[in-house]
């Protein structure tokens, strides 16, 4: 535990699936003395991948918090999943860390997952160090991987090391920062430091000079010292490199083999010496525009992750942004107003937690059994409305419906889904009245598989998925006039209302209707999207204006479940221009029924058009699978809008109907062998093809009649 923010290093490990993050962390923990033997993914005994499903799948599905002591620093490390199905775990980890270790697979280079992760690194403006891992792989190619990184991320990518040998015999690293060579014994661990051979001195010196120049460029005084002396002292060099790394002006590159425990110690030494502490990072801008620094004496924490554990309940992972959190402290949740007491504070190494008395600003810890505080909540002093900006999670990319279980199980399932959403905000649960389904929105098929596994194994509930219905919309393409008289007589007072209506497609700014005198106009925003323009054009009092709201309500009722498929209607102008009423039998109900019926009749004469949701799709894929990806998209009625290079990957932009995106996540993973990722955002509604409209209308009519 640290008692000084300056001695804390918060590090997130990022990388494409298979880049070796978890194995590298095992080496770091072992070298730091936190564990006695290194775990292995195949043996299912690593510190970070400790849940049963992670052991079964042999890859990380959740972020995991670890720590170690190295020289002067407490290094907090967050291991993250490599699949972007679990991008929420990555983004929440980036929120609370100060340096990223981007792991690159020496055999595969800059992979598609790296490209996607880089977008989040840029969003959080986080200093980044590259580690080219798996130098012991038979296909390891340090130079090719380095060149790919430079091509994608620019000349800020600066090698600090290179391997003297690579492949299965890898055991030697030339370090251009320290101008020494590290030779590892079999089994790795602490290397022998030996002089750089004469044959390598020229290459190492060029690298060293580039590092010194990058450090000197950060400060005028350092630049002057560099010109005067031709070099910088170790202290001056460290100062300049810290500034350069923090400003994002350099991305240092190291090489390692996590599996053989070679190189992790040098990376930790660099983190200790050069990486920024929480105190070195910019102050946090709060929601009200004020700034919060680590030296602010009042305690403020932010919950970045919540997990529910059997026999424990809610486990909250948090960062102390200011002040000092002590066991027994009470803080107020600024979102809910709830007062929370921190009876127990822990530091974590995976599932192993060690209780501590306090945590200082900048540190990351764990607590349990908070009453009403979850991910994205800020807790601070009572009466202080401090809100740290929440984590912005990406839109979902896959949706499924839940097959309704028994009534008793459904209520329990609803509570479980609510709990899981609080743990993972990238899972959205929608109870759609329009579609009459419970819809789960997630990041991909693996994300859904994990959800299903947890609900069945942890909560003992059976969860079955169904195809989600498509939220179609209905509109019209031309004008139609019609009338309807509703007349009903049964004993006493009857019902009477006659409505003459014109309907036509509505667009903002269109001219007033021909031949009608508009007495009142109202633009109604419809909850499901689009608008109703309701014009009252009655002249001479054929219908009393007191029935205006009833007629509008009747129209809106029919628009909520349109005449074609029962889907909501949108973007229609309705003009009420004539009608009749009865001094005794007319009432609101009569005019509602008349309006609803005449709207339906006029709608069917006005070129009714079914609209489908269109999404903008971005696919990032390797060039060798681009043809297969595009062929699949064209089979889904996609319109390709553009193809651009992004690093050494291709980015395909397309417009595609939501109805065609069923199982796209699984299909893309299959046809690309995992060399592609995608994201999608709602774009617009567009007309469906006539044949498709006929089929959908027929299916709806058969369902209504059955």
Residue ranges of the chain whose pLDDT lies below 70: 1-2, 41-45, 48-60, 491-492
In angstroms, the CA 562 to CA 568 distance is: 5
**pLDDT given at position 82:** 82
| Separation of alpha carbons 547 and 588, rounded Å | 6
Cβ-Cβ contacts under 8 Å for 119 (sequence gap 6 or more): none
Q: Are 491 and 349 contained in the same domain?
A: no
C-alpha–C-alpha distance, residues 394 and 90, integer Å: 11
How does 66-84 read in b/e, with b if 16+ C-beta sit within 10 Å? bbbebeebbbbbbbbbbbb
Q: Is 190 found in the same domain as 109?
A: yes
Query: Which CATH number covers residue 432?
Result: 3.30.70.870
Which CATH number characterizes residue 309's domain? 2.40.30.10
* Domain-embedded: residue 204: no
Asked whether residue 340 falls in the same domain as residue 420, the answer is no
- What residue numbers bound the domain in which 415 lies? 398-466
Question: Does a structural domain hold residue 258?
Answer: yes
262 and 185, same domain (yes or no): yes
Whether residue 203 is contained in a domain is answered as no
User: What integer pLDDT is reported at residue 85 of this predicted model?
Assistant: 86
| Of 494, 506, 496, 490, the residue nearest 547 (C-alpha) | 496
Q: What local confidence, expressed as pLDDT, does residue 403 receive? A: 86
626's enclosing H/E stretch is helix 626-635
Residue 212 lies in a domain: no
Residue 470 to residues 246, 298, 610, Cα–Cα distance (Å):
47, 50, 12
> CATH code at 179?
3.40.50.300
CATH of the domain at 527: 3.30.230.10
Residues 492 and 552 in one domain: yes
State the pLDDT at residue 50: 65
- 274 and 290 co-located in one domain: no
pLDDT digits (tens, 9 = 90+) for 111-167: 988 988 998 999 999 999 999 999 999 999 999 999 999 999 999 999 999 999 999
Please check whether residues 429 and 553 belong to one and the same domain. Answer: no
Indicate whether 262 and 343 sit together in one domain. Answer: no
pLDDT at site 425: 92
pLDDT number for residue 482:
97
d(C-alpha 107, C-alpha 76), whole Å: 28
Q: What is the DSSP letter of 624?
A: G
> Which of 582, 606, 630 is a domain's end point?
606
Looking at the domain assignment, is residue 243 inside a domain?
no
Choose the final residue of a domain: 334, 353, 380: 380
Give the pLDDT score at 367: 96
Q: Does residue 509 share a domain with residue 584?
A: yes
Q: Give me the helices (H) in 300-359, please.
A: none
Domain boundary among 581, 606, 631: 606
How far apart are the C-alpha atoms of 333 and 336, rounded to whole Å?
6
CB-neighbour burial class of residue 469 (10 A; exposed 0-12, middle 13-18, buried 19+): middle
Is residue 236, in this structure, part of any structural domain at all?
A: no
Residue 219 belongs to some domain of the structure: no
With 0.75 as the threshold, say if the pTM is over it: yes
**26 & 154 share domain:** yes
- What is the structure's pLDDT at 604? 96
Q: How many domains does the chain have?
A: 5
Let me know whether 142 and 31 are in one domain: yes
Q: What is the pLDDT of residue 364?
A: 97
Instruction: Tell me which residue of 523, 526, 528 sits closest to 508, measured CA to CA.
Output: 523
**112 and 59 part of one domain:** yes
507 domain-assigned: yes
Q: What is the pLDDT of residues 31-83, one digit of tens each?
A: 999 888 887 766 666 776 666 666 666 666 788 999 999 998 999 999 999 88
């Amino acid at each position: 535990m640290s008692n000084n923010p300056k001695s804390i290093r918060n590090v997130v490990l990022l990388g494409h699936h298979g880049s070796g993050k978890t194995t590298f962390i095992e080496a770091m923990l072992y070298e730091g003395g936190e564990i006695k033997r290194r775990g292995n993914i195949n043996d299912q005994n690593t510190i970070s991948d400790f849940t049963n499903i992670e052991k079964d799948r042999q890859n990380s599905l959740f972020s995991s918090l670890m720590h170690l002591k190295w020289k002067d620093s407490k290094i907090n490390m967050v291991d993250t999943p490599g699949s972007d199905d679990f991008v929420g775990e990555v983004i929440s980890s980036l929120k609370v860390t100060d340096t990223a270790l981007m792991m690159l697979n020496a055999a595969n280079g800059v992979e598609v997952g790296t490209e996607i992760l880089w977008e989040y690194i840029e969003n959080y403006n986080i200093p980044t160090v590259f580690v080219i891992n798996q130098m012991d792989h038979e296909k390891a190619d340090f130079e090719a991987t380095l060149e790919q990184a430079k091509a994608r991320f620019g000349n800020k990518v600066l090698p600090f090391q290179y391997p003297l040998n690579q492949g299965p015999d890898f055991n030697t690293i030339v370090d251009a920062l320290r101008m020494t060579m590290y030779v590892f014994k079999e089994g790795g661990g602490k290397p022998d430091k030996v002089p750089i051979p004469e044959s390598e001195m020229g290459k190492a010196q060029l690298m060293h000079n580039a590092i010194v120049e990058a450090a000197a460029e950060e400060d005028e005084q350092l630049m002057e010292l560099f010109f005067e002396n031709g070099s910088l002292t170790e202290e001056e060099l460290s100062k300049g490199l810290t500034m350069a790394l923090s400003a994002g002006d350099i991305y240092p590159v190291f090489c390692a083999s996590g599996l053989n425990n070679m190189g992790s110690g040098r990376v930790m030494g660099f983190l200790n010496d050069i990486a920024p502490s929480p105190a070195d990072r910019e102050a946090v801008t709060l929601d009200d525009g004020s700034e919060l620094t680590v030296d602010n004496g009042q305690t403020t924490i932010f919950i970045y992750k919540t997990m529910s554990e059997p026999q424990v309940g809610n486990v909250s992972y948090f960062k102390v942004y200011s002040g000092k959190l002590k066991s027994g402290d009470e803080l107020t949740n600024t979102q809910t107003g709830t007062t929370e007491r921190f009876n127990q504070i822990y530091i974590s190494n995976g599932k192993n937690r060690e209780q501590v008395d306090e945590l200082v600003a900048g540190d990351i810890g764990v607590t349990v059994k908070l009453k009403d505080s979850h991910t994205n909540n800020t807790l601070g002093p009572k009466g202080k409305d401090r809100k740290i900006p929440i984590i912005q999670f990406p839109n979902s990319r896959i949706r499924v419906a839940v097959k309704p279980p028994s009534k008793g199980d459904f209520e329990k399932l609803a509570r479980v889904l609510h709990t899981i959403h609080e743990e993972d905000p990238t899972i959205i649960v929608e109870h759609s009245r329009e579609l009459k389904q419970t819809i789960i929105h997630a990041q991909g098929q693996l994300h859904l598989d994990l959800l299903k596994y947890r609900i069945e194994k942890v909560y003992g509930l059976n969860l079955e998925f169904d195809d989600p219905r498509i939220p179609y919309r209905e509109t019209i393409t031309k004008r139609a006039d019609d009338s309807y008289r509703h007349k009903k007589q049964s004993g006493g007072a009857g019902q009477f209302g006659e409505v003459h209506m014109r309907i036509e497609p509505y667009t903002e700014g269109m001219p007033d209707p021909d031949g009608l005198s508009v007495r009142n106009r109202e633009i109604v925003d419809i909850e499901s999207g689009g608008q109703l323009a309701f014009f009252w054009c009655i002249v001479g009092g054929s219908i009393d204006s007191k029935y205006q709201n009833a007629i509008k309500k009747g129209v809106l009722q029919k628009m909520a479940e349109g005449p074609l498929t029962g889907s909501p209607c949108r973007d229609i102008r309705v003009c009420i221009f004539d009608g009749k009423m009865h001094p005794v039998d007319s009432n609101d109900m009569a005019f509602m029924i008349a309006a609803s019926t005449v709207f339906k009749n006029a709608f069917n004469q006005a070129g009714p058009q079914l609209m489908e949701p269109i999404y903008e799709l971005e696919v990032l894929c390797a060039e060798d699978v681009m043809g297969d990806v595009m062929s699949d998209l064209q089979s889904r009625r996609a319109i390709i809008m553009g193809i651009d290079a992004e690093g050494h990957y291709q980015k395909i932009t397309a417009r595609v109907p939501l109805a065609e995106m069923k199982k796209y996540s699984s299909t893309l993973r299959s046809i690309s062998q995992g060399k592609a990722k995608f994201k999608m955002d709602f774009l617009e509604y567009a007309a469906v093809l006539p044949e498709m409209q006929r089929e959908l209308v027929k299916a709806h009519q058969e369902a209504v009649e059955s």
